[in-house]
Structure 1
Amino acid sequence: MADDPEISSDVLSEIMGKDPEAPKASQPVPRTPSKEPEPDEPDDQPYGGPDEPVPEGEDDVEAAAEPEDNIDDYLVEVTVDGKPVEVSLKELKKTFSGNKFVEQNITKAVETRKHVEAQAYSLYQSNQQAMAKLQQIDAVLSTVTEPQIDWVKLKATDPQGYILKKEEVRDAQDRQYAVQMEIQRVQEEQAQLQADAQSRYLSDQADALAAKLPEMRDPRKAPELMGKFTDAAAYYGYTKQELGQVMDHRALLVLNDAAKYRALVKKQRDSANTPVEKKLMLRPSAAKPAVQATRRLDKNALARAQRTGRAEDVAATLLVRAK
């Protein structure tokens, strides 16, 4: 054994600890890979220190991490009533959404109204046709309920026929009563349909008038404006009752123009009848026209006396000197 090569104690212990089927010492023994050590917690300064330069691209990462400006806060210039106003994009979107909602509701309301009006018109036409048929039936039943029969003679000559005829008339009267009640119901329904249609028409005409004359929406100005309509209508011979029956807004617009014209004519007439006080305008150089004229005449008299030497001219100069 002295000639055997020296075997380390570690290898020997490894061989002795294996079972018989374990690989021989000459063969390489696979070893279990060791676990990698857990990385230490990063320091506050991962790049060594404050003097160590930051790697390229780090600035871009930090810049990308910063929150961007909210686009809803951007101001957009819009024109409101002819004046530029700055409004945030958020308000614009909110207003636009609200307007869209209002437009959709208006569209739905218009469609609903058109549908109701179409149904009302169809019902009105159907009622008119039903009314015509019911009136025809009523006319036919009237000939049965009011026969030209001598009931006394019929009863005396044909008692059984008298009874049958009376039953026939009574049955016709019952049917006629039912027909007349249906006619009354249809007439009431027609009257309600007409009232509803007239109410919608008046509402439309009121809106159209207010669109042309916004004063009609003001509860303080509307009575005054209606008073002007009444005065203008009375001037042209219309009564209050006739004016109350006017439903077309165009007629009221004509009355409004007539009232304005009447007011303009009255103003011009009053202005023409008012006396205008005339003021005398004097020029500054002509403040004393009478004095200047007298001096000019006196100067002319002296010059004439010196030139002619006549007694009357000299006497005139004496009057000048006496002044």
Structure 2
Amino acid sequence: TLDELKKGYSRDADYRRKTEELSFEKKQFQSEAEQQRQDYSKRLSELNQILAFANQQLNSEASNIDLNKLYEEDPVEATKVERQLRLKKEKMIEAASKLQQEQQRQLSSYVQEQQKILAEKMPEFQDAQKASATKNNLRNFLNSYGFKDNEIAQIYDHRIVMLVNDALKYRNMKNVKPVSAAQASKPGKFLSSGVKKDSNDINFQKRKEKLGRLKKSGNVNDAASIFYDIITNKK
């Protein structure tokens, strides 16, 4: 009917608008998220490098000293050297422990902040039952695109969660898109699926390559690229 056709055109317009909005959002948060990621890890990365260098120096120093021989030649000096090496090693272990604690503290703080923002942006996360159901839906959605649970567990950025949620809603909208009477009556419509297979295979292979890059880099830009493929139905 005319009303059904109007509703169909309206849905198509909504799909196009949603795609444009998500495309804009993708471009907007790419640079911001990457900068945030760099700022978050810069200081800890520098500390890790300093600690690794100091540990290397300590190992080199210890390997150049023959304590057994030194104990035979000068037991007092050998005891002093061994004690110094032990104290240095203890300090290295303590520094590594503090660095690990700092990394965990910053990560915990970041996760809490992102969860708070997510609850403000998506009210369903303020309710325990709704939050659990939403998480399961998002997890299943990402699983269907090849993401493993341990990979999904590393998604902390609230913007990525929102983007995945919008992609899931968009796919659900497309799945319930009404078919006009004229389209339903056309014979041989379903035979065209074989023609599209090559294109789908190509898109699937490209997505697998992007997923491989994401697993290696953990880069939000790679994540956004995959999610954009999802919302534009490039499976």
Q: TM-score, normalised by structure 1?
A: 0.37
Q: Which runs of 5+ in 2 are unaligned?
A: 1-41, 182-235
Residue of structure 2 aligned with 1:222, choices 128, 131, 138? 131
Partner of 1:211: 120
Q: 1:235 & 1:162 partners in 2: Cα distance?
A: 65
Letter of the 1:215 partner, please give it. E
CA pair 188-233 structure 1, distance change in 2 beyond 3 A: same
State the SS of the aligned residue for 1:220. helix
Return the offset for 1:267.
1.7
Q: 2:95 & 2:170 partners in 1: Cα distance?
A: 49
Maintained 8 Å contact 2:114/2:157: yes
Residue of structure 2 aligned with 1:199, choices 93, 108, 130? 108
- 1:246-288 Cα offsets, whole Å, 9 max, x none, are 11111111110111012112222xx5499xxxxxxxxxxxxxx
- Aligned residue pairs total 140
State the SS of the aligned residue for 1:246. coil
Residue of structure 1 aligned with 2:160, choices 248, 251, 254? 251
Partner of 1:173: 82
Q: 1:221 & 1:167 partners in 2: Cα distance?
A: 69
Maintained 8 Å contact 1:131/1:186: no
Residue of structure 1 aligned with 2:60, choices 125, 132, 139? 139
CA pair 175-142 structure 1, distance change in 2 beyond 3 A: farther
CA pair 226-164 structure 1, distance change in 2 beyond 3 A: same
Partner of 2:176: 267
Maintained 8 Å contact 1:210/1:217: yes
Letter of the 2:130 partner, please give it. K
Q: 2:71 & 2:167 partners in 1: Cα distance?
A: 75
CA pair 122-236 structure 1, distance change in 2 beyond 3 A: closer
Q: 2:116 & 2:71 partners in 1: Cα distance?
A: 67
- 1:161-199 Cα offsets, whole Å, 9 max, x none, are 973245544432222111111111111111111111001
Letter of the 2:117 partner, please give it. A
User: Residues 1-323 of structure 1 correspond to what in structure 2 (within 5 A)?
Assistant: 129=50, 132-133=53-54, 135-145=56-66, 163-165=72-74, 167-268=76-177, 271-272=178-179
CA pair 252-122 structure 1, distance change in 2 beyond 3 A: closer
Q: 1:144 & 1:236 partners in 2: Cα distance?
A: 56
Letter of the 1:173 partner, please give it. E
Q: 1:162 & 1:225 partners in 2: Cα distance?
A: 67
- 1:188-221 Cα offsets, whole Å, 9 max, x none, are 1111111110011001111121121111011121
Maintained 8 Å contact 2:111/2:156: yes
Letter of the 1:142 partner, please give it. S
Higher relative contact order (CA 8 A, sep 6+): 2
Superposed CA RMSD in Å reads 3.3
Structure number, greater radius of gyration: 1
Return the structure number with greater helix share: 2
Q: 1:262 & 1:273 partners in 2: Cα distance?
A: 19
- 1:1-24 Cα offsets, whole Å, 9 max, x none, are xxxxxxxxxxxxxxxxxxxxxxxx
Letter of the 2:72 partner, please give it. I
Maintained 8 Å contact 2:55/2:92: yes
CA pair 132-238 structure 1, distance change in 2 beyond 3 A: same
Identity %: 24
Q: TM-score, normalised by structure 2?
A: 0.50
